[in-house]
Amino acid sequence: MVFLFAVFTGIPEMSFLRFLRPLRPIFAIGALGLVILAATGRFRKVVASPIGKVLVIFTFWFMLCVPLSIWRGGSFGVFVDTWSKSFLAYVLTAGLISTAVQEKKVFHTIGYSCGLLACIALAARNYDVEGRLSAGGRYSNANDLAWTLLIGLIFLGFLFLRGKRINKAVAILLMIPVLIAIAKTGSRTALLGAGMLFLYVFFQASASAKARLIIATPVLLFALLLVVPSQLRERYTTLFRTQSMTTAQVEASGSSAARLELLKDSITMTIMHPLVGVGPGNFMVAQQNLALARGEPFGLWHVTHNTYTELSSEMGIPGLAIYVIFLFQCWKTLAIILRRRGVSEEVLLMAQTLRAALVVLATVAFFDSYGYNANIPILAGLITALSFIAHSQRIANKIASKSVENAPSLPEPAFEPAWSGSPY
């Protein structure tokens, strides 16, 4: 819980706690958790799970791509500073959670952490030149902040549905700053992810809940528009129109055009380097070389803004294939939990929550680069841990039902004949 709180709030990496950076608190907490995990003997079970096996294969492929990259030092740095921590986050999350009560506490921790992150971002008022909100540290990019808060919103929804009265009140109070902060990031990626989340919840909801969603959603959107600066409202409208645009809309449209150019270049690199790519973390360098080869003065120096082409261009088609299998395995594991009987209602709701997060993740992955981000392996770790919990519950229920079936039947009670004589 402490580890996930540190990751999702990003507090140890924020500017007002910069004196903690040399101590690397998140790494220290993770290392301690790894020692505890090794003592429990669950490490092997975690990496041998269906999701764990795919991540291990992805890690080995990552290591193979490093010496074959166009800039080995850059790829090695991404492996050490980013992916190794992401893999560690998966192992810790999947291995240290062993009961439904613990998983529920972790769900609450993520929801509270994202609520606190939204409050910190709004209080710090850290806006860039375009008026977009960020939080510094690992959330210095507005898009990273937005999609993390969107995931946190899902966990706050679980807190509202399964929490006590005080938990429901806290969830509602935290949802307000989370929604405002997401709106103020100006992230069109988060807007699309929120739209996909709405559709998922709508089709899963009952008829009465669908009616409430239809009424409440327009009211909520109108309220959010009132708190969003005009330049961000104009930025959002570029998703729907491209003519007669204002200055802010032109800037946002230019960002969209740059993303399209980056997408084309990432596909080109995939075709040019189909086996191992240009190396993890090397897209910007390779795109610069590609731009110079076309006669352009310089490259765009941005990530691909598409997780799938990020992986295909940097780790080749095999790297992308492994990652897609990883996402599919996460979905399949949740489907198995939801399809089988013998698990508690709370576990089923946890699986629904994680599936909603996975739907949002797969959507936003088309519009930003999160291939090595730690939040994704953390969600996978929660899914793996939940599969272990569901399996244990099914076994316990089977044993209980067999015990009832095999219990010896009690003999029929013997009845004394009715007394026919007079007591006098």
Question: Which residues face 127 on adjacent strands?
Answer: 133
| pLDDT at residue 407 is higher than 80 | no
Task: Quote the number of domains for the chain.
Answer: 1
Minimal CA–CA distance to 331: which of 312, 313, 308, 358?
358
Give the distance from CA 206 to its chain's centroid: 25
pLDDT, tens only, 140-190: 889 999 999 999 999 999 999 888 889 899 999 999 999 999 999 999 888
- For residues 279 and 231, the model is more confident at 279
| pLDDT at residue 240 is higher than 60 | no
User: Which bin fits 150, alpha (ψ -120 to 50), beta or left (φ > 0)?
Assistant: alpha
Tell me which long-range contacts 245-252 makes (C-beta under 8 A, separation of at least 24): 248/130, 251/130, 252/188
Residue 417: inside a domain, yes or no? no
Residue 406: inside a domain, yes or no? no
Residue with tokens 């730690």: 374
Q: Which of 153-157, 377-381, 411-415 has the lowest mean pLDDT?
A: 411-415
Give residue 171's pLDDT: 94
Residue 407: inside a domain, yes or no? no
Q: What are phi and psi of 133, to 5 degrees?
A: -85, 140
Residue 172: inside a domain, yes or no? yes
Distance CA 155, CA 161 (A): 10
Distance CA 8, CA 382 (A): 14
What tokens does 17 get? 């706690």
Residue 408: inside a domain, yes or no? no
pLDDT, tens only, 305-356: 899 999 999 999 999 999 999 999 999 999 999 987 789 999 999 999 999 9
Residue 421: inside a domain, yes or no? no
Residue 419: inside a domain, yes or no? no
Domain that residue 301 falls in: 2-397
DSSP states of 267-300 as a string? HHHHHHSTTT-S-TT-HHHHHHHHHHHTT-SS--
Q: How many helices (H) and strands (E) does the chain have?
A: 17, 2
Rounded to two decimals, what is the model's pTM? 0.89
Count CA within 13 A, CB hemisphere, residue 125: 0
